[in-house]
Each structure stands twice: as structure tokens, then as C-alpha cells.
Amino acid sequence: MSNRPLQTKERKIKLILANHDTLVAAGLRSFLQNLPEIELLREIPLGSKTLASVASTKPDVLFIYLSMSGYEEVEIAARIAKKLPHLAVIVLSMNTSVEYILQTLHAGIKGILSQRSSYEELESAIKAVLEGEVYLTPALPKIVLKACQDYLSNRRRPLVPLTFRQKTILQAIAEGKNTKEIAGRLKVSSKTVEFHRARLMARLGIRDVAGLVRYALRTGLVQL
């Protein structure tokens, strides 16, 4: 653990806020500007140019707002964390599904807050990540916290608990089977397959078939 202080009389913590939601940004900006130990350097959009903007400004902390739009934002955060390993990256994630949060951790993010976190909790997250710790908001669902703790303990991504039927359908989807073929294999109706697929996507926080395939490959349910 680093002995780096949060604040000294000579230097404040330099922070960049990255997001694309003006309403969320307004609230975060107001709170951050009232923290005496924080210097809000700038606000930037989250996108392809974020890495270059952060690298040129050299903040201590990057605070990112992750919407529900998918995994592209996590991939951007992952590139930043990889290219700037000494940067403390904290995210406010609207998606708190197990798979999404695990992917966020796997991307190298050190602090995770949710929409149920208080503004004041951001201070705790900043303190933790600057001391070299990983901060997980207690507001995450219990199943998510447990999966994250397991991951941090052994660096293995655990499977989200799925029913036998869900695993069977996920495996078939990853193998390239369409709804009709899966229904024929399981001897159920196409509507039943569609129902279980929708439940599966909701359970994993995944929004498309390509995401299901990636998840099945990552967790070893199918092999290339």
C-alpha cells in the first residue's frame, strides 16, 4: 500500500471527468468542485479520443461515467488502463450485472461505483484507489460483490450462476445454432427458446447474440 497522501498544502488531486451525459456531468461537476482536495482539470467526452486527452493532461484520477449502452465503453476504459497503468481509474456504472462488472474489473478499473452510490462515496473511492486498493461500492448486488471478490482472489472469471436450460441454450447459440435448430434439439417451441434467451441476456447484462458468444468463449463453455 502506498503512503501517498490524498492532499498536501502544495498539491491537490488532479482529476478528469469523462462521460457523455450532460445531466450526470452537471451533478458530478458540482460535487467535485466543492471538494477542497480535488482539482477538476477538465471534462471530456468518452470516446476514441479520450486516451489521447488523458495522456496529454496527466491527471491522478480519471472518473468515467459508464452508461447502459454496452461493452464499447468498457473497452475504451480498458485501453486507457492498459496504456496508463499508473493512472487511478474509477467508474460510475449504470449496468451492475455480474458479467458487466467482472469485465470492468478485468479491464483494470480500480474503483467501481453504481447509481445507488452517494456522491460522498466518491471520496472513499478516490482515497482507496490512490492508496493502491480496489474499491467496490457496497451498493452492488450481493451476487456481484461475491463474484468480484472471487475474481480478485484468484484472478479467474467465475461463471454467472445459470440454470441447466440457460447453459444449454447459451452453448447452442455459441455454436451458431439458430432459434429453430435449438428448439428442435431441446424439443421445445421457438417461443420457449426466445424466452430463455431473453432471460439469459438479462441475467448476464448482455444485449446481443455476439455478446453471448464472447461470454461463452471467455468462460470456456465452448471452444474455438
Q: Which of 84, 95, 77 is nearest to 211 (CA)?
A: 95
pLDDT at 4 over 70: no
Strands 88-93 and 111-114: parallel
pTM above 0.85, yes or no: no
- Greater model confidence, 222 or 212: 212
Sign of CA pseudo-dihedral 101, 104, 110, 115: negative
Give span(s): CATH 3.40.50.2300, the chain: 13-154
Percent of the chain with pLDDT over 70: 86
Q: Which of 88, 30, 93 is nearest to 58 (CA)?
A: 88
CATH homologous superfamily for the domain 13-154: Response regulator (3.40.50.2300)
94-131 confidence digits (pLDDT tens): 888 887 888 888 888 999 999 888 888 988 999 999 99
Q: How far is CA 115 from CA 74, 93, 95, 100, 120, in A?
A: 17, 7, 9, 15, 13
5-52 confidence digits (pLDDT tens): 455 446 799 999 997 666 677 888 888 888 889 999 998 988 888 999
Residues in CB range of 202: below 8 A, 6 or more apart: none
CATH number of 164-218: 1.10.10.10
Give span(s): CATH 1.10.10.10, the chain: 164-218
